[in-house]
Amino acid sequence: MDTITFAGDKDLDFVAIGRLCIDLNANEINRPMEETMTFTKYVGGSPANICIGMSRLGMKTAFIGKVADDQMGRFIDQYLRNNGIDTSGVTTDRTGAVTGLAFTEIKSPEDCSILMYRSNVADLLLAPEEVDESLIKRSKVLLVSGTALAQSPSREAVLLALRYARKHGTKVIFDIDYRPYSWASPEETAIYYHLAAEKSDIIIGTREEFDMLERFDGNTERSDEVTAAQWFSYHAEIVVIKHGKEGSIAYGKNGSSQRGSIFPAKVIKTFGAGDSYAAGFIYGLMQGWDISRSMTFGSASASIVISSHSCSDAMPTVGQIEQYMLSSKQV
Local mean pLDDT, 10-residue blocks, the chain (331 residues):
86 97 91 91 96 98 98 98 98 97 82 87 98 98 97 98 98 95 94 97 96 88 92 96 87 90 80 90 97 94 88 94 86 51
- The distance between the two most distant Cα atoms of the chain, rounded to a whole number of Å, is 54
The residues pairing with 250 across neighbouring beta strands, listed in sequence order, are 240, 258
Q: What is the pLDDT of residue 105?
A: 83
Q: Collapsing DSSP states into helix, strand and coil, what is residue 250?
A: strand
Determine how many CB atoms are found less than 10 A away from the CB of residue 197. Answer: 24
Determine how many CB atoms are found less than 10 A away from the CB of residue 331. Answer: 8
Residue 98 CA to residue 84 CA, distance in Å, equals 25
Given the candidates 3.40.1190.20, 3.40.190.10, 3.30.1120.10, 3.40.50.720, the CATH classification of the domain at 12-20+45-95+124-327 is 3.40.1190.20
145, 177 contact by CB (below 8 A):
yes
Residue 302 CA to residue 323 CA, distance in Å, equals 14
Q: Peptide bond before 153: cis, by omega within 30 degrees of 0?
A: yes
Residue 31 CA to residue 248 CA, distance in Å, equals 30
Q: What is the pLDDT of residue 1?
A: 46
Determine how many CB atoms are found less than 10 A away from the CB of residue 103. Answer: 17
Residue 228 CA to residue 50 CA, distance in Å, equals 23
Q: What is the pLDDT of residue 330?
A: 57
Instruction: Name the residue ranges covered by the structural domains of the chain.
Output: 12-20+45-95+124-327
121, 100 contact by CB (below 8 A):
yes
Residue 69 CA to residue 56 CA, distance in Å, equals 27
Q: What is the pLDDT of residue 108?
A: 73
